[in-house]
Amino acid sequence: MRAARITELGRPPETVDVDAPAGGTVVEMEVVSLNPIDLAICAGRFYGGHPEVPFVPGCEGVGRADGGLVYVFGGGLGLQRDGTLAEQVEVPEGASFELPDDVDPALASACGIAGIAGWTPVEVAGVKPDDRVLVLGATGTVGAIALQAAKLRGAARVVAAGRNRERLERAKELGADDVVELGDDMADRFKEAFGGDGPTVVIDPLWGEPVVAAAQAAAPGARTVNIGQSAGGDATFPSAVVRGKQLRIVGHSNFAMTPWDRRRAHLELLKEVQAGRVAIDVERFPLDRVHDAWQAQAEGRKAIVEL
């Protein structure tokens, strides 16, 4: 069967012929969605390590088992053992669940790692109709989902922040009330975007300087949920800002959720996507263009590999 394979850390995968699984529960993969975690694992920069080289990458995907559509994630796939970027995958127990049969497999897959990470923090922050929500990195997949989730929860104002101008325009189409381009004087501009009062909630896949600026702009008692560190692994917060405004900063990790909670969040979001209330922008590539898919994902475009 055909599969993508990493033969050297730091280099994109190649398409190769490998042995099909000899037994176990086998899923015929239809699509695999790529995520920053795949790029980190395959570059040797993920804190959880990587499977022994050479290996098949991919942490999630959608395929068919016994004729039904299933979502595949977990059981060490793509992390400790060969992953999902293959025509057939032997799936460990508990690492798949059934999907409705009428969904687009690509969107159902994108609702997994990225979807849960965009959907759940808005819930964790307890966004309510009187909240003013700043979504950092709203130009990425996680942020774009978070901004739509905040709108669905009826937030009074949602502001999208990011670097990519085209994607900031897209954020407006997705419902952002205003956008802020990251750069100089971020704290002042975040504050202005909320009429001077600052956000009551910050959804943050970036960390680094943007999250510090967001804290400086935030309203008293604001809640920040951190999801990632795309802008940097460190952030220095003045104590006076955190203490003076009694800010709350909590972390979110999909890995820390129970499988049941992940599945609930995944299916909740998928329902919204199917109903047309949440859009997820994806780019589709055939397996023999996995190299291009890898590049697209590295540039922040949500890449889906079709098997």
Ligand X SMILES: NC(=O)c1ccc[n+]([C@@H]2O[C@H](COP(=O)([O-])OP(=O)(O)OC[C@H]3O[C@@H](n4cnc5c(N)ncnc54)[C@H](OP(=O)(O)O)[C@@H]3O)[C@@H](O)[C@H]2O)c1
Kindly state the smallest distance separating residue 193's Cβ from ligand X, in Å: 16
Question: In the bound complex, what is the minimum distance in angstroms from residue 68's beta carbon to ligand X?
Answer: 26
Residues 6+ apart with CB under 8 A from 127: 133, 149, 150, 153, 155, 201
One residue of 109, 148, 164, 200 binding ligand X per CB under 6 A: 164
Answer for which of 192, 241, 300, 306 binds ligand X (CB under 6 A) is 300
Among 5, 50, 153, 167, interactor with ligand X by CB under 6 A: 167
3 vs 144, which CB is nearer to ligand X? 144
Cα distance between residue 146 and residue 119, in whole Å: 6
Cis peptide before 13 (omega within 30 of 0): no
Helix H, strand E, coil C: the string for 158-176 is EEEEECCHHHHHHHHHCCC
| DSSP label of 89 | E
Q: Considering only residues 4, 6, 35, 131, which one is a binding residue for ligand X as defined by CB under 6 A?
A: 35
| Site for ligand X, residues 120 to 139, rule: CB under 6 A | 137, 139
d(CA 201, CA 217): 11
Nearest to ligand X of 40, 241 (CB atom): 40
Contact with ligand X (CB under 6 A): which of 8, 44, 195, 253? 253
Stretch that binds ligand X, among 57-65, 196-204, 247-255, 275-283 (CB under 6 A): 247-255
Are 203 and 211 contacting, i.e. CB atoms less than 8 angstroms apart?
no
Strands 60-65 and 26-33 come out as antiparallel
Binding flag, residue 92, ligand X (CB under 6 A): no
Evaluated on CA atoms 158, 162, 168, 174, the torsion sign reads: negative
C-alpha distance from residue 60 to each of 130, 148, 177, 235 (Å): 36, 23, 33, 30
Binders of ligand X among 254-283, rule CB under 6 A? 254
* Span near ligand X by CB under 6 A; candidates 55-63, 103-111, 161-169, 264-272: 161-169
In the block, residue with structure tokens 């709108």: 151
Residue 83 · residue 55 · CB < 8 Å = yes
CA–CA dist 197, 220 (Å, integer): 9
With CB under 6 A, what is the number of residues at the site for ligand X? Answer: 28
Stretches 20-28, 104-112, 140-148, 263-271: which one binds ligand X (CB under 6 A)? 140-148
When asked if residue 112 is in the footprint of ligand X (CB under 6 A), the reply is no
Q: Quick check: 70 binds ligand X (CB under 6 A)?
A: no
Token match 């994109």: residue? 12
Nearer to ligand X, 61 or 143 (CB): 143
Interface with ligand X includes 140 (CB under 6 A)? yes
Of 225, 241, 265, nearest in space to 135 by CA:
225
37/107 with CB nearer ligand X: 37
Q: Which residues bind ligand X (CB under 6 A)?
A: 35-37, 113-114, 117, 137, 139-143, 162-164, 167, 182, 205-206, 227-231, 252-254, 300
